[in-house]
């Protein structure tokens, strides 16, 4: 899609201006009011804070015990402080934050490596080096993001910094050239794309930030002409792994690092080479990528989640709104508008990428003045990842088919998620805080990755297995006026030791009435169905009560047991209370039926 356009491109390559919104002729910097007050207050808080010290041990700790959060807290705190200082100076313009800005720029330039310890490897899945090698930089997600932050900061502050000492901007530009542009052009990193190798969010995310840096800084025309075709090839490598339906197999959290970064890359290109990229905004696949988030939304901050995504996701904002505009998605713009209105963090104070914050500052007033209601959610089928979503006035239901070799995969083929009146009933737990184990061969020792902790069966303790070959079969989806129905066979998601020949699941939403789940299997081992919920279950004869408003009639089960699961992990606690529950329903025969009202 993208590389096809380069053959027809004859125009010049312009500069990218981070303070100009995609599709807008120009915008005004807010001079007063609540926006300026918030930004200046945040800058003052940053100016009065001590810069985090980062020791060699902080970097090495990941290789020692697998903990990545302590180093990352220090690393990202530096960048958040710099962002706050730059934005405060940008809107106030009195020079009182410039000394602190220079301190932040120099501290980041003095870091031995911009890549995270968890990403400090030269091959995909390769050995992580204990410390960064300054002479052999790795371009990971956050090395490229750091370059984008610094490039945007220089763009906003260049004349003011040069008035103090031109060496500051010169040093920052040299570091970006050494750590990003030179390795980008002379070596191949896996995320750039190669043949049929599957890509993920890294490809769009890094490419966006390389493009931003290359065209925001006053780089040479030869460098820009070298970066452009390589970036376009990577964007094609990213899109090749998306079906025409636009679904993100990594889940809704990674939509913002995948689909929205595709938008970011296109927004950069739309300024620097408009005739190259502008026709692509009307491509149906690009619009489908944009609207994925709309179909996944349930209510408030709740989303249908799978893979390494959480059920509770921060509200949509300016980036979604801006993506909706060029692709002509009123639905996405309406969702973003309604979310921005209810979001106290609409200026993105916790965001690392300075450009995203600039976009929020420039567009938020337009969004708040816009009239919009939350879009009406409807049924939707994503055949590319095997995901079906059905709704009525009270229930919202998602059934996940697919396979267990997806990016950020959990062994969840055939699992379902159910909401009633906007509240989670049958849940996908999500993922704990990332550690070294999360992305190691021991990933599936983590309980949240296992099928036994999804709404799925196990067979005498045998669970699903990871890998693309472990997949659903014969998935059928029908959306009717009175009912929606999804059927699939999930036997293929289990290894041979499960001794399973067939496991047919039928899920029906009888609109305005109830949800029915009918499971029937043919196998040699006893089957036990797990159900995950945040409500403490109350078991009666053939009946499970969850909270005050949900009853599950059960037919075909033996004695039901309940396991409380204490939740202490900070990432899980963003979605769930201190305790959730797993119900274990042993089959009394070859079939089990749940009727949920």
CATH of the domain at 455: 2.70.98.70
- DSSP label at 362? H
User: In 3-state terms, what secondary structure has residue 585?
Assistant: strand
Question: Are 15 and 75 within one domain?
Answer: no
Model pTM above 0.85: yes
What are the backbone dihedrals phi and psi of residue 186, each rounded to the nearest 5 degrees, phi first?
-110, -10
Distances (CA, A) of 415 to 14, 308, 454, 457: 49, 15, 6, 9
pLDDT, tens digit, 9 for 90 and up, residues 202-248: 999 999 999 999 999 999 999 999 999 999 999 999 999 999 999 99
What are the backbone dihedrals phi and psi of residue 110, each rounded to the nearest 5 degrees, phi first?
-80, -10
Query: CB under 8 Å to 284, separation ≥6 — which residues?
Result: 244
Domain end marker among 141, 163, 187: 187
Question: Are 148 and 255 within one domain?
Answer: no
- 416-420 vs 473-479, strand pairing mode: unpaired
- DSSP label at 221? H
pLDDT mean by block of 10 residues, the chain; 597 residues:
85 91 64 87 98 98 96 98 98 97 98 98 94 98 98 98 98 98 97 96 98 98 95 98 96 96 97 92 98 97 96 96 97 96 95 97 93 87 97 97 96 98 97 94 96 98 97 98 98 98 98 98 98 96 93 97 97 97 98 98
Question: Are 277 and 406 within one domain?
Answer: no
Identify the pLDDT of residue 376: 86
Identify the pLDDT of residue 7: 80
Give me the residue label for tokens 């190669």.
Answer: 194
Question: Are 422 and 305 within one domain?
Answer: no
CB 13 within 8 A of CB 221: yes
Give me the residues paired with residue 458 across strands: 528
User: In 3-state terms, what secondary structure has residue 560?
Assistant: coil
Question: Are 402 and 466 within one domain?
Answer: yes
Question: Are 4 and 124 within one domain?
Answer: no
Identify the pLDDT of residue 293: 97
What are the backbone dihedrals phi and psi of residue 518, each rounded to the nearest 5 degrees, phi first?
-120, 115
- The Cα 563–Cα 99 span in angstroms is 56
Question: Are 467 and 544 within one domain?
Answer: yes
User: In 3-state terms, what secondary structure has residue 378?
Assistant: coil
Question: Are 391 and 540 within one domain?
Answer: yes
- The Cα 84–Cα 92 span in angstroms is 12
- The Cα 360–Cα 368 span in angstroms is 11
Distances (CA, A) of 306 to 139, 184, 503: 28, 33, 21
Give me the residues paired with residue 390 across strands: 397
Domain count for the chain = 3
Identify the pLDDT of residue 31: 58
Give me the residue label for tokens 């989806």.
Answer: 477
Domain end marker among 159, 187, 215: 187
- The Cα 527–Cα 133 span in angstroms is 52
Structure tokens at 10: 């004859």
- The Cα 90–Cα 183 span in angstroms is 32
Identify the pLDDT of residue 27: 60
CB 119 within 8 A of CB 141: yes
Q: Closest by alpha carbon to 199, among 245, 248, 246?
A: 248
Note down the domain range covering 62: 32-187
CB 183 within 8 A of CB 139: yes
CB 199 within 8 A of CB 237: yes
- The Cα 348–Cα 479 span in angstroms is 38
Distances (CA, A) of 274 to 7, 23, 355: 14, 10, 20
Query: CB under 8 Å to 371, separation ≥6 — which residues?
Result: none
Domain end marker among 371, 398, 432: 371
Distances (CA, A) of 238 to 115, 190, 241, 259, 305: 21, 12, 6, 10, 22
Question: Are 203 and 178 within one domain?
Answer: no
Structural element, H or E, at residue 504: strand 500-510
Question: Are 299 and 385 within one domain?
Answer: no
Q: Closest by alpha carbon to 597, among 554, 555, 550?
A: 550
Question: Are 177 and 197 within one domain?
Answer: no
Question: Are 251 and 356 within one domain?
Answer: yes
Q: Closest by alpha carbon to 210, among 232, 239, 237?
A: 232
Q: Closest by alpha carbon to 212, among 401, 386, 16, 55?
A: 16
């Amino acid at each position: 899609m993208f590389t096809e356009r380069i053959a027809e491109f004859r125009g010049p390559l312009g500069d990218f201006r981070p303070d100009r919104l995609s599709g807008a002729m120009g915008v005004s910097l807010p001079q007063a009011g609540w926006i300026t007050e918030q930004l200046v207050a945040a800058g003052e808080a940053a100016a009065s804070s001590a810069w985090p010290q980062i020791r060699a041990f902080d970097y090495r700790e990941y290789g020692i015990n697998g903990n990545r959060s302590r180093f990352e807290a220090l690393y990202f705190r530096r960048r958040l402080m710099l962002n706050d200082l730059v934005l405060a100076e940008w809107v106030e313009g009195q020079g009182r934050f410039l000394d602190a800005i220079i301190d932040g720029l120099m501290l980041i330039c003095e870091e031995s490596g911009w890549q995270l310890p968890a990403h400090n490897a030269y091959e995909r899945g390769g050995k992580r080096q204990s410390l960064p090698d300054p002479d052999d930089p790795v371009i990971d997600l956050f090395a490229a993001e750091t370059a984008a932050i610094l490039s945007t900061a220089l763009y906003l502050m260049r004349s003011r910094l040069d008035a103090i000492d031109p060496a500051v901007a010169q040093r920052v530009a040299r570091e970006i050239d050494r750590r990003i542009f030179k390795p980008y052009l002379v070596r191949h990193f896996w995320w750039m794309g190669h043949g049929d190798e599957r890509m993920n969010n890294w490809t769009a995310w890094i490419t966006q930030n390389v493009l931003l840096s290359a065209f925001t800084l006053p780089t040479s025309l030869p460098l820009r002409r070298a970066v452009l075709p390589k970036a376009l090839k990577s964007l094609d490598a990213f899109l090749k792994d998306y079906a025409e339906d636009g679904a993100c197999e990594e889940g809704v959290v990674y939509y913002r690092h995948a689909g929205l970064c595709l938008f970011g890359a296109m927004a950069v290109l739309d300024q620097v080479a408009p005739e190259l990229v502008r026709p692509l905004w009307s491509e149906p696949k690009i619009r489908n990528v944009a609207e994925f988030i709309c179909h996944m939304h349930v209510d408030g901050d709740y989303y249908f989640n799978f893979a390494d995504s959480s059920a509770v996701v921060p509200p949509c904002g300016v980036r979604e709104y801006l993506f909706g505009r060029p692709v002509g998605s009123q639905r996405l713009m309406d969702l973003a508008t309604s979310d921005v209105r209810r979001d106290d963090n609409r200026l993105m104070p916790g965001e690392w990428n300075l450009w995203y914050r600039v976009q929020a500052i420039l567009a938020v007033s337009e969004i708040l003045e816009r009239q919009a209601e939350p879009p009406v959610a409807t049924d939707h089928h994503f055949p590319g990842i095997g995901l079906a979503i059905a709704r009525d006035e009270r229930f919202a239901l998602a059934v996940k088919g697919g396979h267990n070799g997806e990016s950020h995969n959990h062994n969840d083929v055939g699992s379902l998620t159910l909401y009633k009146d906007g509240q989670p009933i049958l849940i996908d737990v999500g993922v704990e805080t990332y550690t070294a184990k999360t992305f190691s061969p021991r990933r599936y020792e983590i309980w949240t990755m296992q099928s036994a902790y999804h709404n799925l069966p196990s067979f005498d303790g045998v669970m699903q297995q990871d890998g693309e070959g472990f997949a659903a079969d014969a998935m059928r989806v029908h959306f009717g006026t009175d009912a929606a129905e999804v059927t699939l066979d999930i036997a293929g998601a289990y290894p041979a030791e499960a001794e399973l020949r067939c496991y047919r699941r039928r899920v029906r939403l009888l609109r305005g009435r109830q949800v029915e789940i009918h499971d029937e299997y043919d196998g040699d081992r006893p089957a036990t169905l797990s159900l995950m919920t945040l409500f403490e279950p109350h078991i009666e004869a053939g009946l499970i009560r969850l909270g005050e408003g949900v009853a599950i009639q059960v037919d075909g089960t033996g004695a039901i047991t309940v396991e409380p699961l204490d939740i202490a992990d900070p990432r899980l606690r963003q979605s769930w209370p201190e305790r959730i529950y797993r119900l274990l329903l042993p089959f009394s025969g070859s079939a089990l039926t749940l009727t949920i009202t």
